[in-house]
Amino acid sequence: MKATDGNDNGRMVLRAEELWKSYDEGAIGVLKGVSFEAREGQSVALCGPSGCGKSTLLHLFGGLDTPDRGHVWVNGVHVDRQHGLLRLLRHEVGFVFQLHNLIPGLTLAENCLIPTMAAGTDRRVAIERLRALTERTGLSHRMDHPIQKLSGGERQRTALCRALMNKPRVLLADEPTGSLDEKTSAQVFDLLLNLVATEGITLLMATHDLSLAQRCDRLVEMRDGKIIEPSHVR
Ligand SMILES: Nc1ncnc2c1ncn2[C@@H]1O[C@H](COP(=O)(O)OP(=O)(O)O)[C@@H](O)[C@H]1O
Ligand SMILES: [Mg+2]
């Protein structure tokens, strides 16, 4: 457990209030009044069976989709399509998906530098950051490798670097090790936890792997379209 855990004075970095979301014009009700908060620096595992709405919730936090009702805030910024969404996506939120979603044909370095170009970061600063992150993730020797020549674990570590290039305050991770074998999954997850801890990042990670979930500061569960926090786990 980290020092931030249980600290009532910690800043709320993620906040959802009464979120409702359905698909197919209301035929598929997914989120039915989700309220949730996470403090600065906390790592939170979002658990629940496939199809319960974990990805949907992450997409709403990242501004990739809009709720039918309710609100989300990231780092105090109200996530909606009108206000500050680009700034939020460039600087405050990083995403890691189950499949790495890297651009084939480009090198590791090129993939990681794309978000810094979108953010208008000075190239030298961006390359410094890339060096630091690839060193932390054991990828220094792979910088100029095209994505298709990297192993599954290396690709997921690259995706992690890319997500952290702009120094986001929040990392949203959707089954980040779900496509990897058990051993590689454990290694990538160690790195992920280590990086978010040292950078003070708030992590919300969807997973159905209980052994990974239990290593986070908090474990919450999606059930019947709502979030519950099993008290015995904390
Ligand atoms: N774009 C979409 N259109 C229609 N149904 C969707 C869409 N996205 C998700 N769903 C449905 O919403 C439910 C929740 O999906 P999802 O959030 O992906 O769950 P999880 O990530 O927990 O597996 C599922 O029943 C899924 O089929
Ligand atoms: Mg999902």
The per-residue pLDDT for 91 is 79
Residue 46: phi and psi, rounded to 5, are: -105, 110
Domains and CATH numbers, the chain: 12-101+161-228 (3.40.50.300)
Q: Assess whether the C-beta atom of 56 lies below 6 angstroms from ligand 1.
A: yes
Q: Whose CA is nearest to atom 4 of ligand 1?
A: 23
User: Please, which contacts does 24-33 make with residues 24 or more away whose CB atoms are closer than 8 Å?
Assistant: 26/68, 29/225, 30/56, 30/225, 31/56, 31/57, 31/60, 31/67, 31/225, 31/226, 32/224, 32/225, 32/226, 33/70, 33/225, 33/226
Non-local (6+) Cβ contacts of 140 within 8 A are: 131, 134
The mean pLDDT values, 10 residues at a time, for the chain of 234 residues are 46 95 94 96 95 95 92 89 67 88 95 93 97 97 96 96 96 94 93 96 94 94 90 51
The per-residue pLDDT for 99 is 84
The per-residue pLDDT for 3 is 40
The per-residue pLDDT for 1 is 38
10 Å CB burial of residue 224 (0-12, 13-18, 19+) is exposed
The per-residue pLDDT for 5 is 42
The per-residue pLDDT for 9 is 54
User: CA 60, 91, 133, 207: dihedral to nearest 10 degrees?
Assistant: -10
Q: Assess whether the C-beta atom of 30 lies below 6 angstroms from ligand 1.
A: yes
How many CA atoms does the CB half-sphere of 127 hold within 13 Å?
Answer: 5
The per-residue pLDDT for 84 is 63
Q: Whose CA is nearest to atom 7 of ligand 1?
A: 23
The per-residue pLDDT for 234 is 44
The per-residue pLDDT for 82 is 65
